[in-house]
Amino acid sequence: MFYLSRIEHSLRLPPHLLSLRLQDAVMGELEKLFLDKVIANLGLCVSVYDIQSIKDHFILPNDGHPTLTVVFTLIMFRPFVGEIITAKVLESTADGLRLSLGFFDDIYIPSHRLPTPSHKKDNLKKNSVMWYWKPSDDEFSIELKDQIRFQVESVNYPKIPTEQPENSKPFAPMEVKGSIDFDGLGPVHWWQDVDEEAS
Amino acid sequence: MKILKADAGALNNFEVLEFLKSKGYSKDDRKRGMGRVTTSEYKVFDYLVDTPAGTQTREGNDEFKEKCKQFDLGNDTILNIINTRPASVVEIYAIVEENADELVEMIGEVLTPPTAPSPKPEADTDEIDAETMNCGTN
């Protein structure tokens, strides 16, 4: 789920930070630049882990600030394919489910990846439906705010669109697609009850 | 920006949580906003505290990794087991299919169980949990 990635970056240090310790000033600038941002193919930056080296202080002609070359390590959120993660249901629509981890909201379970056989029922609210799994006579529902255990199927980094089509969903730099069509996956409480009955 | 090494090692949930704790993050509301803390890191912290990582110990995780060697599992699989801490065979089945019974037994012995009662999505119980925890730390 979390990986370390080493990055080299030439950082401009604004002059008003020169009164701070160099380490603190660079750390602050790096956090401002990278935290909560997605780097393509690396994932979502969660935190700056450490600063390896700060070197090459120079001031370019006509510049009012020093430029440094910094090598540092970031903690990246990058799920791998096949990983099992627990997340909360954010939206439930005819296309499937949208899940949230609290810090990352672009996890989608397409409707063909819901447990089979499942069906939907229209909800009172516009655009939202309720999904039900019906393995036998019993029916299990997936409700909003349910904790869901899902398996990662793919992680995509879509390109920034030059033209945004109308009525499209907001652009997300990183999208995770998941599946809950397997034993043990789906809302956590489905399987807890099974255990209690068995034991 | 130049990527020197995309994968310089994996961290499990517990290690990320320890790192955030060492930076001064805590569950106590009154301490929020103090020190060098950012909102995005707090969201990660809030998520991780409620996962099994919130009660795990470094010793337990190391022991588990050591004992996993006999089953010939990949690093990713071990990491995933530690992060999710499956409590029964049906929960571990999506991660590994072989030796599931032995693994579940081992998890029960080595990895600390989450102290919070079943995480059923009932808003009421969650709130009570959070309150009692705060009282404990005060």
Given a contact cutoff of 8 angstroms between Cβ atoms, the answer to whether A92 and A142 are in contact is yes
Distance CA A151, CA A83 (A): 6
At A115, which amino acid appears? P
Q: Residues 6 or more apart from A133 whose CB is under 8 A from it?
A: A114, A115, A117, A118, A139, A140, A141, A142, A186, A190
Hey, are the CB atoms on A183 and B90 less than 8 Å from each other?
yes
Distance CA A159, CA A84 (A): 26
Q: Within 13 Å of residue A68, how many CA atoms lie on the same side as its CB?
A: 19
Hey, are the CB atoms on B44 and A86 less than 8 Å from each other?
no
Using a CB-CB distance cutoff of 8 angstroms, which residues of chain B are in contact with residue A195? 87-88, 90
Q: What is the ipTM of this complex?
A: 0.82
Distance CA B92, CA B33 (A): 38
Using a CB-CB distance cutoff of 8 angstroms, which residues of chain A are in contact with residue B5? 5-6
For A69-88, write each residue's pLDDT tens digit: 999 999 999 999 988 899 99
Distance to chain B for A18, nearest Cα, Å: 18
Q: Average pLDDT in the A35-60 region?
A: 89
CATH T-level assignment (fold) for domain A84-198 = OB fold (Dihydrolipoamide Acetyltransferase, E2P) (2.40.50)
Hey, are the CB atoms on A147 and B41 less than 8 Å from each other?
no
Q: What is the pLDDT along chain B (138 residues), one digit of tens a residue?
A: 889 988 888 888 989 988 888 887 777 655 555 556 677 888 888 888 888 888 888 888 888 888 888 887 888 888 888 888 887 778 788 888 777 777 888 887 777 776 654 444 444 444 444 444 444 444
| Domains of chain A by residue range | 2-77, 84-198
> A15: cis peptide before it, omega within 30°?
no
B117 close to A (CB below 8 A):
no
For residue A27, the 8-state DSSP code is: H
Type and span of the H or E element at A45: strand A43-58
| Options 3.60.15.10, 3.40.50.12780, 3.30.1490.120, 1.10.10.10; CATH of A2-77 | 3.30.1490.120
